[in-house]
Amino acid sequence: MLIRRPDPIRPSELTDERWFRMRRDLLAAAFGLAIGGALPARAAAAPQRNARYSTADKPNTFEEITTYNNFYEFGLDKDDPARNAGSLRTAPWKVAIDGECELRGSYTLEDILRPHAIEERVYRHRCVEAWSMVIPWLGFPLADLLRRFKPTSKAKYVEFTTLLDPKQMPGQRGSGFGGLDWPYVEGLRIDEAMHPLAFMVTGLYGRALPNQNGAPLRLHVPWKYGFKSGKSIVRIRFTERQPACTWSTAAPGEYGFYANVNPAVDHPRWSQATERRIGQGSGFFAQRVPTLPFNGYADDVAGLYKGMDLRRNF
């Protein structure tokens, strides 16, 4: 039975503890870190918005961005991740760097983040399910991270793996979601990964990244369907061959390796010509807007695919 002991914390200390937590959370948020993580040495100033790589579209609300999620490790319904991702422990966190690079090894989140200045980028985010959002992310260019590990000339692709831990991720227990093999793996061609738009995300709306959005470290590749942007990354591997990715393995006829947003190439079961902006009406009143080639980033990225048949390489 439980033995009641006198509360060891006096009210005055409680206030201090609360103040300490608030300060720590604010600091962590300012630097795009998960609560409990150490601060990067270089983070001297508050994150600035990168105007060159930010859309003028109106951002979705914090509420919309953090309660309408795809993160199947925490359930299939859009509000499941917000309800279930509290069980994810984001500190301590390690990332394994592997494959075709000189500096393979296991790095702490602090090692990963320390040299990078965190900036804000307002990106359009287009899900393959034909809905979209506008999200003010915090983070830094993926290319800056990848270069640090000195990829070899054989590094033609990069693979990103999400945490595998059924204890923390209820969707990985038992049979989980039929058809998906855990852990979640997605990958990019090396030139895509090195493109300045490919973004390593550590926060949103000036705050630490909520678990349901892929804390403490997730990718966003804004010209591709959202499923290419892996969450809660624990491994980055440089490869010579195209990696086997979760979605293109589960349903190769529906989800390709490239997954570039393309209104001219429909999904076999639905059109990709338009999208529903989350927050702009729902059901019968949902407002649909035209989907743009490469999600509106064609000027920046179309060159990566010169000469490729985008219908075959969907």
Ligand X SMILES: Nc1nc2c(c(=O)[nH]1)N[C@H]1C(S)=C(S)[C@@H](COP(=O)(O)O)O[C@H]1N2
Sites of contact with ligand X (CB under 6 A):
69-73, 125, 127, 162, 184, 213-214, 226-227, 229-231
Determine the size of the site formed for Mo ion (CB under 5 A): 5
211 binds, among Mo ion, ligand X, none (CB under 5 to 8 A by kind): none
Q: Indicate if the alpha-carbon torsion angle 53, 58, 63, 68 is positive or negative.
A: negative
CB nearer to ligand X: give 157 or 160: 160
Burial of 7 (0-12, 13-18, 19+ CB in 10 A): exposed
How distant is the alpha carbon of residue 48 from its chain centre? 20
Q: CA–CA separation, 225 vs 286, rounded Å?
A: 20
* Total count of residues recorded for the chain: 314
Instruction: Using alpha carbons, select from 295, 299, 239, 312 the residue that is nearest to residue 57.
Output: 295
Question: Mask of contacts with Mo ion, 53-82, x by CB under 5 A?
Answer: -----------------x------------
CB nearer to ligand X: give 73 or 192: 73
Asked if residue 164 lies in contact with residue 156, where contact means CB atoms within 8 angstroms, the answer is no
172 binds, among Mo ion, ligand X, none (CB under 5 to 8 A by kind): none
Asked if 227 touches Mo ion (CB under 5 A), the answer is: yes
Q: To 10 degrees, the CA torsion angle through 102, 108, 110, 112?
A: 30
Asked if 127 touches Mo ion (CB under 5 A), the answer is: yes
149 binds, among ligand X, Mo ion, none (CB under 5 to 8 A by kind): none
Instruction: Using alpha carbons, select from 247, 125, 107 the residue that is nearest to residue 187.
Output: 247
Closest approach of Cβ 185 to ligand X, in Å? 9
Asked if 226 touches Mo ion (CB under 5 A), the answer is: yes
Structure tokens at 251: 């349903």
CB nearer to ligand X: give 69 or 151: 69
Closest approach of Cβ 2 to ligand X, in Å? 38
CB nearer to Mo ion: give 35 or 127: 127
* Residue 9 identity (one-letter amino acid): I
Tell me which residues touch Mo ion (CB under 5 A): 70, 127-128, 226-227
